[in-house]
Chain A
Amino acid sequence: MKKVFSRPESLRKKFVFHYCPGCGHSIAHRVIAEIIDELGVRGTTIGVPPAGCAVLAYNYFDVDMIEAMHGRGPAVATGIKRVRPECLVFSYQGDGDLAAIGIAETFHAANRGENFTIIFMNNAVYGMTGGQMAPTTLLDQKSTTSPPGRNAVLDGYPVQISEILAMLPGTAYIERCTVNSPANIVKTKRAIKKAFQYQLDGRGFSLIEILSPCPTNWKMSPIDACRWIDDVMSKQFPIGVIKDTPAEAAGKEGAGHDR
């Protein structure tokens, strides 16, 4: 009988994800591992997990990994990729890690056109620390540090990080996806694979933003959390390709080349 479904080679053999029921991280992990398998690059991949819920990603991925301090993933990835340009390098970051404490590292890695990929898990909340307000928390969304709901005057606005980074000439590919349905998971996989391929082709910085359900901190059932992404979250953060720089243009701008 033909085996149609099995654990990806790039995931470790024996573990149970520690993520909450309905969380998007485990889906994203699996998708990334499948792509690494499909591209045949497990042996040359280096990943950088963040501080956040996914800090233990190295317990799941069976690829070389170095944990970064909170927000510093893009800086660590820069150091790795510049020393080992032949490797597939990705940094895996949450919204607090990427858009708050690590905004400088993210912005400037993108602006330098560093030839690696960021997987940006946006769940509009600080998950690991217990549901505090994130830079991507929606207006009126309740969190433990915005108990009545995020107030634009007092708390500022949700940050559209992908759109901001798309303005930088150093970025080659940016797409926003979500993992709230089988169809969207397939699209997410396609997007990440494209981003990794761009990197392997030396085309410069790529970022895939994934709207990821956090039922625990959103205080919803997993199903409701998936619906909330469709009904509310994706209105603030529209799904789709935000930037796709043609290969020749990337070459012209020098992104990713001649490091």
Chain B
Amino acid sequence: MIVKTIFSGFGGQGVLMMGYSFAHGAMSEGYEVTYLPAYGAEVRGGTANCTVAVGDEEIASPIASEPDYLVVLNTPSLYTFQNRIAAGGLLFLNSSIISARPSRQDMEVFAIPASDIAEELGNARAFNTVMMGAFLKRTSLVKPEIYLKSLETVMGSKKKAVVEINRKAFSAGYDFLKA
């Protein structure tokens, strides 16, 4: 089994952190992992994206020509990547920001009002953790506790408030999708 996920959004939305923390969590789960960020001038102020491959066997190419999963945080990312998802793939989009919907019918779309949820929790910037909650609920690649531990590790923040808001945001995203 190898599954590939692309995370994409504006630079500064925390896209790379989503991929990094997810990759770390998958490693903690014992999976083989590759994390490949887009780099260089293109990520400064423009769109940022990264690809995470998770598998129980050696991962050959870290590039996803047909990602199984796509997590998008802004409209340009939806347009860029929607046609690349494998048939039967899953698309997670932040519906608080993205009003467009993909025209393809051969994939499952999860619209998460992540920014609204995060704002209700008191920290709008935690919306990406809300997305991660929903993403991991549906994909079950990393157990919530393991993911949250990885998130704390990669953020390197020991501030209680930050840890707390991310835990809340994750739970809110996780609970938003029905099992």
Q: Consider the complex of A and B and state whether they touch directly, i.e. have CB atoms less than 8 Å apart.
A: no
Which residues in B have some Cβ–Cβ distance to A below 8 Å?
none
Which residues in A have some Cβ–Cβ distance to B below 8 Å?
none
